């Protein structure tokens, strides 16, 4: 019997991981087993199977039928805590073609691009499908996510990962093999997310597709890419002033009075650049700024030449 799925998942025989919080484990579910040292292993439940480790085995049948948050003891005496994987857990452990978008960046994309239930969203660069899962959760069943992926092998991996997480094809997802700039024909799009090497190549297509007030969000890895996409957005003339951000995530060690930041952290993974679509025919306001010296050498040289060509005031002494 199929069950309705929250968070934008399609009705399936075996609901997606983490999508039915009050339902007991059953065959086909993914289960995240955590040992006393915090090490995590994910298994897919099958009746009659066993999970084997060097510290003993654990029967799947012992887990089936019990609720999340239950502790099980292996034949070797090791205790394991069982939960369904969260989307963040699934994204970090999914099979990969392209690098996955880290949960900290996916969360920022959903927030900074203001992805909402029912939104029409275009994604360029499906990669391994991690960001697609977050976007589908945000738009829900009644939205639409159109993903474009140039590489067929990456598209296959993304499709497999998305369907694995949601338990089957998602009703709001459309995956196209090919480049966005050559294949995008949609209009009335609310948001466009570009996860690709050269997002500036898609600005014309994005401007045609976005509604006035719509948001373009580019996820890039390097400062040179960030500089290029920001300057091209400014020069394009159809977008308001772009914003560039970076998110760093640091965990903390908390044990009684020993409270300190952990020695390792998730530092730089990527930059986000966001900009809003102006109404047709509107010229963006002139940007007032005091740039650093030599930030714009070509413009500075032109200004200097204009100043030299302008005759001085004859009344000045």
pLDDT tens digits, one per residue of 54-111: 889 999 999 999 999 999 999 999 999 999 999 999 988 888 888 889 899 999 999 9
Strand 120-124 versus strand 189-195 pairing type:
parallel
DSSP string for residues in 88-140: HHHHHHS--SSPPPPHHHHHHHHHHTT--TT-EEEEE--TTSHHHHHHHHHH-
State the pLDDT at residue 6: 41
Task: Please give the tally of structural domains in the chain.
Answer: 2
Domain that holds residue 57: 30-84
Query: Is pLDDT above 60 for 12?
Result: no
Confirm if 71 and 105 have CB atoms less than 8 A apart. no
What does the angle CA 112 – CA 271 – CA 230 come to, to the nearest 5 degrees?
Answer: 85
Query: Is pLDDT above 60 for 180?
Result: yes
State the pLDDT at residue 99: 84
Q: Give the dihedral sign, CA 25/30/35/38.
A: negative
The reply to whether 253 falls in a domain is: yes
State the pLDDT at residue 4: 39
The CATH number linked to 218 is 3.40.50.150
- pTM, two decimal places: 0.81
The CATH number linked to 66 is 3.10.330.20
The reply to whether 210 falls in a domain is: yes
State the pLDDT at residue 298: 62
Write down the mean pLDDT value for the chain.
86
Query: Is pLDDT above 70 for 312?
Result: no
pLDDT tens digits, one per residue of 204-218: 999 999 999 999 999
Taking alpha carbons only, the member of 208, 254, 245, 203 closest to residue 226 is: 245
State the pLDDT at residue 15: 47
The reply to whether 181 falls in a domain is: yes
The reply to whether 313 falls in a domain is: no
Query: Is pLDDT above 80 for 309?
Result: no
């Amino acid at each position: 019997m199929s069950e309705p799925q929250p968070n934008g998942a399609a009705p399936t025989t075996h609901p997606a991981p983490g999508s039915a919080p009050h339902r007991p484990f059953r065959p086909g579910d993914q289960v995240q087993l955590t040992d006393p040292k915090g090490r995590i292993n994910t298994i897919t439940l099958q009746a009659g199977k066993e999970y084997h480790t060097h510290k003993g085995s654990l029967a799947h049948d012992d887990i089936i039928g019990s609720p999340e948050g239950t502790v099980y003891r292996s034949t070797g005496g090791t205790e394991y805590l069982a939960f369904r994987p969260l989307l963040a857990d699934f994204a970090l452990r999914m099979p990969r073609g392209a690098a996955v978008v880290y949960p900290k960046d996916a969360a920022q994309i959903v927030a900074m691009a203001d992805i909402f239930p029912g939104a029409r969203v275009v994604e360029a660069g499906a990669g391994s499908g991690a960001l697609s899962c977050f976007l589908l959760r945000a738009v829900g069943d009644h939205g639409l996510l159109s993903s474009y992926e140039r590489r067929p092998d990456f598209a296959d991996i993304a499709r497999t990962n998305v369907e694995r997480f949601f338990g089957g094809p998602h009703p709001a997802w459309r995956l196209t093999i090919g480049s966005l700039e050559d294949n995008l024909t949609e209009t009335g799009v609310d948001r466009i997310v570009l996860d690709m090497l050269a997002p500036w190549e898609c600005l014309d297509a994005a401007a045609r597709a976005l509604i006035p007030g719509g948001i373009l969000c580019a996820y890039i890895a390097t400062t040179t890419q960030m500089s290029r996409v920001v300057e091209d957005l400014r020069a394009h003339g159809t977008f308001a002033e772009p914003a560039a951000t970076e998110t760093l995530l640091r965990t903390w060690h908390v044990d009684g009075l020993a409270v300190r930041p952990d020695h390792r952290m998730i530092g730089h993974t990527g930059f986000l650049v966001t900009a809003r679509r102006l109404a047709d025919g509107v010229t963006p306001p002139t940007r007032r700024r005091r740039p650093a010296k030599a930030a714009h050498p070509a413009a500075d040289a032109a200004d200097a030449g204009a100043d030299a060509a302008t005759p001085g005031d004859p009344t000045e002494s």
